[in-house]
Amino acid sequence: MMGRQTGDQSQLFYLFNLEERIPTRHLLRLINPIVTRVLAGVREKLQPFYSDIGRPSIDPELMLRMLVVAYSYGIRSERKLCEEVELHLAYRWFCRLALDDKVPHHSTFSVNRHGRFRQSDLFRQVFEAVVRACMDAGLVKGEGFAVDASVMEADASRYHGKAPDEMDWSAPERQTRAVGEFLASLDEEEPNADRKVPKVISPTDPCSAWTAKANKRVQFGYGLNYLIDIENAVIVDVEATPARTYDEVTASKTMLDRTEEQLGLKPEPLAADTAYGTGKFLAFIIDKGITPHIPVWDKSKREDGCFSRDDFTFDRERNVYTCPAGKLLTTTGKVHADRTIMYIALTRDCRACPLKPKCTPNMPFRRLRRDINEDARDVARALVDTPEFEKSRDERKKVEMRFAHLKTHHRFERMRLRGLSGVRDEFHLAAIVQNLKTLANRIWRPPPSAAAACGA
C-alpha cells in the first residue's frame, strides 16, 4: 500500500547538534584542525588594517573559512557562496556559524575581501603556514622539485583588445585598480627585460597578456606558476605572472629563492619542460647547486640540409670552433643582445671550400652563435639520457595534474579578479585548498598496519 505523509511535521522545539551532522570523513571536518591552527593569529595580523572606531566588521577568520569553502568546492560567485553557506550544514559548521547566525551579505563580503585582505600579505602567510603543516606531516621531502606554469583566462574580453598606443589611460572609465597597478608596473619594469612590446592590450585588465597558449586560442591570460615537491605533489610555492614565457621563467627563480629562504628547502634535482631550458636559467640553478633535469631549448639545428652547430667542434682552451673542413671560426668576444657570442670564419677559407654548398650557400662566410651560458647547457644535455632524468621527466607530470585538477574539480579556468594583486590572491587560495586536500587524503589513508590487516 502506498504510504502517505500525515500530520503536521512542525514542532515547537528541536534538539539539534550541528557537530553530529557532519560525517567523520567529510573534507571540511578533516581539514578543520589544520585550518584552525593556521588561522589562530589571523586577527592580530589584520589588526593594523582595521579602524578603532565605527561598526564591527566581518570576522576575518569567518571570511577566510568561507573562501576555503568557495575554492574547495568551485563556488566562483561570492553571492552564490553566501547563499550556499546559508543553506549547507557542513559549510555552516566549518565557518563556525550556528543555525541562527547570520551569514554576511555578499556585498559586504566583497568589500572586506577586496579591501583589507588586499592590503595585507595574509594569503601568502596562510599559504606558507599550510606548507609547513604539510612538512610537519612528512609530505614534503625536499629532495626533488618540479616547476611549471598554466594559463588561466583573465576576466577580460578577447574581442575588445586594443593596440597600446590607442589607449587613453586618463579616461574616467580607466580609473580602476587594475589599470593603476599596470601603470605602476611600467615604472618598476627592468630596463633590460628581454621582452617584446605587446601588440594587443586589454582596456579592463592591462596586466594580463595576449596569449594563444591556452586551448590553442588567442585570449588574455595570466600564468599560474607552481613549484611542487615531487614526492606528494605538495605545492611549496606559487606565483602569478602575465601569461608570457619570459615572466614565467623569471617567476621560477623567485620561487626557488623564496622557498629556500622561507622554508629552508632546496631540491637536489629540478624538473621542468623545454621552456625553462634557456642558458640563463640553467646557469642560475646550476650556480645554486641544483641539478637541472630540463631539456635544453636549442634552435641551432638546421632543417635545410646544411651543417648545424653540432657539426662544428669547439675548443674550449683556444676559444675557437673548427668546421668540418678543418678551418677555424674565431671571435672578438663581443656579447650580442646580452646572450650570445659570434664566431666567424674567414671569407677566403669559405670561398674555396668544397663543402660551402652544405655549410653556407647564401653567405660569403659561415658564422655561429654560442650562448654565453653554453657550459650550463652542456651540463643539462649530458643529463638527458640518465635514468634519473627519465624518472624526473615522468614525475614532472604531477605538477601538470595539479593544473588539471584545479580546472576540472575546482572549476578554476577563468579569473574573477583583475590585476596582478587580485590574481595573486586567487592563486594563493587555490594552492592553499589543494594542499589542504593533500593533507586530508593523508588523513583518510589508513596506517600500513591497518591496511595490511584489512588485506589479510
Domain ranges of the chain: 18-120, 141-295+384-427, 320-370
Confidence of residue 451 (pLDDT cuts 50, 70, 90): very low
Kindly report, residue by residue over 143-193, the tens digit of the pLDDT.
899 999 999 999 888 888 888 777 777 777 677 777 877 877 776 665 555
Which element (helix H / strand E) includes 367?
strand 367-371
Kindly report, residue by residue over 268-307, the tens digit of the pLDDT.
999 999 999 999 999 999 999 999 999 999 888 888 889 9
Confidence of residue 456 (pLDDT cuts 50, 70, 90): very low
Query: Nearest-CA neighbor of 196 among 159, 242, 239?
Result: 242
8 Å CB contact between 181 and 195: no
How far, in Å, CA of 256 to CA of 259, rounded?
Answer: 5
Q: Is the pLDDT of residue 39 over 90?
A: no
- What pLDDT, on a 0 to 100 scale, did the predictor assign at position 4? 65
- What pLDDT, on a 0 to 100 scale, did the predictor assign at position 304? 83
Confidence of residue 453 (pLDDT cuts 50, 70, 90): very low
Kindly report, residue by residue over 214-263, the tens digit of the pLDDT.
556 788 999 999 999 999 999 999 999 998 888 999 999 999 999 999 99
What DSSP line would sit under 272-339, residue for residue?
--GGG--HHHHHHHHHTT-EEE---------SSSS--GGGSEEETTTTEEE-TTS-EEE---PEETTT
**Furthest CA-CA distance within the chain:** 108
Which element (helix H / strand E) includes 149?
strand 145-153
Q: Which of 117-131, 347-361, 394-408 has the lowest mean pLDDT?
A: 117-131
Collapsing DSSP states into helix, strand and coil, what is residue 209?
A: strand
b/e map 95-113, b = 16+ CB within 10 Å:
bebeeeeebbeeeebeebb
Kindly report, residue by residue over 83-115, the tens digit of the pLDDT.
999 999 999 999 999 888 888 888 877 777 776
The phi and psi torsions of 148 (rounded to 5 degrees) equal: -165, 170
Cβ atoms within 10 A of the Cβ of 271, count?
28
Query: Nearest-CA neighbor of 267 among 162, 145, 354?
Result: 145
Which element (helix H / strand E) includes 345?
strand 340-345
b/e map 203-233, b = 16+ CB within 10 Å:
bbbbbbbbbebbeeeebbbbbbbbbbbbbbb
Cell 550556499, located at residue: 84
Confidence of residue 447 (pLDDT cuts 50, 70, 90): low
Query: Nearest-CA neighbor of 329 among 353, 302, 357?
Result: 353
Query: Nearest-CA neighbor of 266 among 163, 115, 140?
Result: 140
Overall pTM surpassing 0.85 (yes/no): yes
- List, in sequence order, every residue forming a beta bridge with 264; answer none if it has no partner: none
Confidence of residue 117 (pLDDT cuts 50, 70, 90): low
**320-322 vs 313-315, strand pairing mode:** antiparallel
Collapsing DSSP states into helix, strand and coil, what is residue 115?
A: helix
Query: Nearest-CA neighbor of 279 among 381, 371, 146?
Result: 371
